[in-house]
């Protein structure tokens, strides 16, 4: 239960499409994505976020070799912009965070600035608390909703505030929405959905993936969408510096974006496992059912903190979880993940129930 690698079956039509398109392995793939893949992505975005008439597949969408690649590469073209803006550019990110955010900031020659995302602020960075001097040197900000590791969903008002800050201070929002299709309550709103109401995608790049939505982490297929100027710049960078997704896999990805039945079944399976969390874990460890994603974020401070609890679970229960401290950055002697473990509910319901019972038994209430 450490790594967020989906274990559910991927849709059966994927192999059929790959086999049918096998000859495509003999050609160099188009780096921006095939026209059919970009049309499929645009169609999905339009339906999912009410963006009909707002998206041009040719200018607003760029296929990626998995979203991690795009999340890392995107800030690299900010160097010239950051140099002209100030001598100490910063890229803001939640803390705890997906490690690629910090790697991208460092690779772009910017300072990674870690914004606490704790229980006190709903596990989302407090945008109202950002000082003006920090905003003045910001060249980018990573948002993750539903968040990894806590599963917090940013409401529309939060996304509106983030968009306004980005445009007011001239930085780019990198919206990591890879968990957007795993939820058991209301659909999580998306950054493009909110931006679309303003009539512009300026300063925004949204990232989505088939890894979680369609249980296809090995397909290495995702996309970013948004500001056409930024898409054009990133496309130029990717043209010389990025991996390509083979054409048969792009065809399979297009088919996956056009199908919702397997996504609905996927949500049902995760919902059943969160039902098991509600039943077995209840309110222990400060647990509350998250708004999205497939992680449980459990407070194990009474068990000595994240590393001690993770070791105890492995030694005494044969259950592997991720210490929350490994996802957080220590600031002024405090790591916001140090009191937590992240439990990935990626196995089947039977294994998940057994593991949760062991967690409850070994770590107590």
**Span 13-257: which CATH code?**
3.40.640.10
Choose the CATH number for 262-363 among 3.60.20.10, 3.90.1150.10, 3.40.190.100, 3.40.50.300.
3.90.1150.10
Beta strands in the chain (DSSP E): 61-64, 90-95, 111-116, 138-144, 172-176, 204-209, 222-226, 295-299, 322-323, 340-344
b/e per residue 330-342 (b: at least 16 CB within 10 A): eeeeebbbbbbbb
Domain assignments of the chain as residue spans, ordered by start:
13-257, 262-363
The number of beta carbons lying within 10 Å of the beta carbon of residue 102 is: 18
pLDDT, tens digit only, all 365 positions of the chain: 999 999 999 999 999 999 999 999 999 999 899 999 999 999 999 999 999 989 999 999 999 999 999 999 999 876 544 455 567 899 999 999 999 999 999 999 999 999 999 999 999 999 999 999 999 999 999 999 999 999 999 999 999 999 999 999 999 999 999 999 999 889 999 999 999 999 999 999 999 999 999 999 999 999 999 999 999 999 999 999 888 899 999 999 999 999 999 999 999 999 999 999 999 999 999 999 999 999 999 999 999 999 999 999 999 999 999 999 999 999 999 999 999 999 999 999 999 999 999 999 999 96
Distance CA 148, CA 68 (A): 13
Cβ(292)–Cβ(179) below 8 Å: yes
- Helix axes of 13-20 and 247-257: crossing angle, nearest 10 degrees: 140
Q: Which of 124, 129, 165, 128 is nearest to 144 (CA)?
A: 124
Report how far residue 359's alpha carbon sits from residue 89's, in angstroms, rounded to the nearest whole number: 43
- pTM of the predicted protein model: 0.95
């Amino acid at each position: 239960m450490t790594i967020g690698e989906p274990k559910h079956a991927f849709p059966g039509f994927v192999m059929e499409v790959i086999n049918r398109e096998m000859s495509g392995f003999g050609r160099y793939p188009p780096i921006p994505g095939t026209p059919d893949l970009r049309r499929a992505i645009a169609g999905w975005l339009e339906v999912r976020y009410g963006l009909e008439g707002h998206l041009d597949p040719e200018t607003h969408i760029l296929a990626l070799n998995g979203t991690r690649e795009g999340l890392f590469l995107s800030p690299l073209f900010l160097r010239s912009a950051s140099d002209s803006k100030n001598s100490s550019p910063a890229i803001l990110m939640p803390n705890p965070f997906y490690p690629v955010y910090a790697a991208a900031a460092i690779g772009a020659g910017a300072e990674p600035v870690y914004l606490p995302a704790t229980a006190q602020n709903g596990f989302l960075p407090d945008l109202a608390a950002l000082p003006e001097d920090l905003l003045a040197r910001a060249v980018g900000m990573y948002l993750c909703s539903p968040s990894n590791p806590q599963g917090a969903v940013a409401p529309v008002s939060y996304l509106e505030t983030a968009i306004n800050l980005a445009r007011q201070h001239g930085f780019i929002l990198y919206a990591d929405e890879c968990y957007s299709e795993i939820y058991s309550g209301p659909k999580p709103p998306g950054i493009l959905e909110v931006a679309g109401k303003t009539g512009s995608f300026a300063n925004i790049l949204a990232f989505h993936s088939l890894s979680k939505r369609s249980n296809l982490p090995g397909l290495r297929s995702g996309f970013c969408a948004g500001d056409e100027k930024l898409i054009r710049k990133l496309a130029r960078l990717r043209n010389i510096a990025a991996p390509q997704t083979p054409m048969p896999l792009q065809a399979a990805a297009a088919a996956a974006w056009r199908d919702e039945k397997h996504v609905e079944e996927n949500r049902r399976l995760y919902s059943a496992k969160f039902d098991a969390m509600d039943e077995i874990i209840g309110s222990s460890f400060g647990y509350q059912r998250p708004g999205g994603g497939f992680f449980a974020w459990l407070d194990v401070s009474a068990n000595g903190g994240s590393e001690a609890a993770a070791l105890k679970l492995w030694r005494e229960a044969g259950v592997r979880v991720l210490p929350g401290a490994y996802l957080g950055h220590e600031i002024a002697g405090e790591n916001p993940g140090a009191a937590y473990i992240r439990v990935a509910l990626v196995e089947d319901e039977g294994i998940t129930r057994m593991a949760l019972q062991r967690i409850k038994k070994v770590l107590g209430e």
